[in-house]
Amino acid sequence: MSPTEQSAAPLPSASLIDSRPASVAGLFLSRVAETPGRVAYRYPVPVDEHAADGSPGAEQWRSMTWAEAAERVGSIAGGLMSLGIRPEERVAISCSTRIEWILADLGIMCAGAAVTAVYPSTNAEETAFILEDSGSRGIIAEDARQLAKILGECGHLPELAFVVTIDGSKPAEPVEGVEVLSLAELEERGAAHRKEHPDAVTAAVAAIDRDQLATLIYTSGTTGRPKGVRLVHDCWSYQAAAQSSTGLLNAEDVQYLWLPLSHVFGKTLTSGHIQVGSVIAVDGRVDRIIHNLPVIKPTYMASAPRVFEKVYNGIASKARAEGGAKYKIFMWAAKVARDYARAGQESLVATGAKKVPFGLALQHAVADRLVYAKIRDAFGGRMRACVSGSAALAPEIGYFFAGAGVHILEGYGLTETSAGSTVNPGENYRIGTVGTPLPGTEVRIAEDGEILLRGPAVMRGYHNQPEKTAEVLESDGWFHTGDIGEVDKDGFLKITDRKKDMFKTSGGKYVAPSEVEGRFKAVCPFVSNILVIGNGRNYCTALITLDEPAIMQWAGAHGQSGKSYAEVCSSAEVHELIGGFVERLNGGLQRWQTVKKFTVLPRDLDVEHGELTPSLKVKRPVVERENAAAIEKMYEGAVEA
């Protein structure tokens, strides 16, 4: 290692990691044997199809024990074996986050096969590429829409032998060479197979080698064709042990899981859950998060930063709408929360203990009764910790929630590292960092500032792309992340920016756009997404989209009721409003970082238009390409301001 390089040592490797099983499939069977009668999963089921007013009907949450889960998992595994699936052969899953995704994933692994994860929102062209590139022999699809895409829009898939539909959908006409059956039918077939071969599943699990392929997850990729990341069984077994050994999870936790399970962040959470034997409440409907939290009353939840940003924007907008004293109280409480959290963290770093000035502690106690307690209640009232990942969390958002008693522990990882590589430790977390390495994981900062990772969770390469693998994975196991960062004296890692996203202005100054974007999200309660632009230009500009509920509430109170979202975003009043927040942003930046001009786009970015990945990261090249005219307009007659 060069003297100019930095490294962060992992936490001491616990015996739990050293003695981890060869696979999560094996871990699952051990968990079932140890606690068969304990609740493993909770999931919503409809009571009525629709209410009288046409809105979605009532729901109730149903529980499933480990033994009940094992029965279904074993039947799915047996069903796949009866269809001829063999070890390491790929079976895809195209489904939203729901209990059946988890059961199917475990069933495929317990058959010794490997899962190809496909986002249900992925278009037909990319779905066809993933299924063909992976050589998937079958796919478990959620519903009729997925079935139609696979059998119709995707075209001929020579390797595909069967499709299993979770909702029981069947094609209008048989498809030659492809058997279509429901999940219930697969499980019935599996139960029969297990009667004839009672040891088939346990034998298949026992035969799994830790370096055997378990999962192919295709990078959603902000640029170019997705790459299939080869994650072996040991990746998930390691994640299970590492997550448990941090102490962040325990057997009494109730975890709320809504993240996409086709994404590595959601998928890895299921491993830690099996290790500790806790409860997971599963529901991937993003529009139900706020409703579900007080019902589930979780103690633990992982999320992308966008959800925390939306919650913050919603709280701020509601307070603004109430106006008068309530808005002043909220603004005061928000400042106290940030000051309290920041003071506690500075004290912790300096002295090893969290201490705040007496006067600030008194203000915090008053604000807690008036404001913070309600915020904690909105999260269910029992939230012990939230983990944020997938993108950067704006520090000011982190300080706000920390001061309010909602502890957001930012972590870091990539698809290529099975998600978790670092995470902030429990009560001693440091906002603005992504924590310390998981036990057994090493972090190194190269001479050019790039973060390198090494450990059991690192992929075994890109599927069918040895050249791409060689570009990022060294022979001694170090993986090049493409992110820029630094490690402090206590081993906490801070992400500065994406190596490829950093740009240099025409004046030769480097700008880290994510830093500027994070600061803007902290000062503007109306922002949804922001892209700072300026590569090779003589000043920075920004494309901004607005949170629809927040800005429409503001519009109704400022004489613009009746206007559409697009009309509101295009109005002079909104441009003036956002301009004020841009001025506040610029006040805390270096001159070359400041945003000279901005454009408010008439609609938000979304997955459907290809502007966001399913994990809600912005695809910068796509957004810049689609808004090239607006960008050029901001640089017409450009003169350094």
Model confidence pLDDT, tens digit, residues 345-392: 999 999 988 899 999 999 999 999 999 999 999 999 999 999 998 878
pLDDT of residue 220: 62
The mean pLDDT value for 408-416 works out to: 94
- The label of the residue with tokens 């099996």 reads 274
Unique residue bearing structure tokens 């240099």:
504
Which residue has tokens 């529980």? 63
Percent of the chain with pLDDT over 90: 72
Model's pTM, two decimal places?
0.83
pLDDT of residue 16: 80
41, 62, 239, 517 from 26: Cα distances, Å: 19, 26, 14, 44
Reply yes or no on whether the pLDDT at 197 is more than 60: yes
Range(s) of the chain covered by CATH 3.30.300.30: 503-634
Alpha carbon 455 to chain centroid, angstroms:
21
Q: What is the per-residue pLDDT for 610?
A: 83
377 φ/ψ angles, rounded to the nearest 5 degrees: -60, -35
How many whole angstroms separate alpha carbon 81 and alpha carbon 209?
18
Could you list the beta-strand ranges (E) of 99-246.
114-118, 138-141, 162-165, 179-182, 213-218, 228-232
Burial of 610 (0-12, 13-18, 19+ CB in 10 A): middle
Query: Residue 513: helix, strand or coil by DSSP?
Result: helix
Q: What is the pLDDT of residue 11?
A: 45
Pairing of strands 138-141, 39-46: unpaired
CA distance 377 to 379: 5
CB 452 within 8 A of CB 478: yes
| pLDDT at residue 2 is higher than 70 | no
For residue 541, give Cα distances in angstroms to 344, 582, 641.
35, 10, 12
Question: Has residue 56 got a pLDDT over 60?
Answer: no
Residues 484 and 50: their CA atoms lie apart, in Å, by 50
Residue linked to tokens 């709408």: 321
CB 43 within 8 A of CB 64: yes
Tens of pLDDT, residue by residue over 274-306, are 999 999 999 999 889 989 999 999 999 999 888
Contacts of 97 (CB under 8 A, 6+ apart): 257, 258, 259, 260, 261, 266, 282, 283, 284
Q: Which of 18-27, 125-134, 213-222 has the lowest mean pLDDT?
A: 213-222
Tell me what pLDDT residue 92 has.
98
Q: For residues 394 and 417, is the Cβ–Cβ distance under 8 A?
A: no
Mean pLDDT of 446-457: 94
pLDDT score at 55:
54
Rounded distance between C-alpha atoms, residue 155 and residue 336, angstroms: 58
Say whether pLDDT at 1 is over 70.
Answer: no
Q: What pLDDT is stored for residue 49 in this prediction? A: 59
Whether pLDDT at 50 is above 60: no
The answer to whether residues 423 and 393 touch, using CB atoms and an 8 Å cutoff, is no
What is the fold of 503-634? Answer: GMP Synthetase; Chain A, domain 3 (3.30.300)
Q: pLDDT category, 6, cuts 50, 70, 90?
A: low
d(CA 544, CA 100) in angstroms, rounded, equals 38
Please tell me the distance from the alpha carbon of residue 430 to that of residue 492, in angstroms, as a whole number: 8
Enclosing H/E stretch for 445: strand 442-445
Residue (of 183, 142, 139) closest to 163 by Cα position: 139
CATH of 1-21+233-309+363-500, one of 3.40.50.920, 3.40.50.12780, 3.30.56.10, 3.60.15.10: 3.40.50.12780
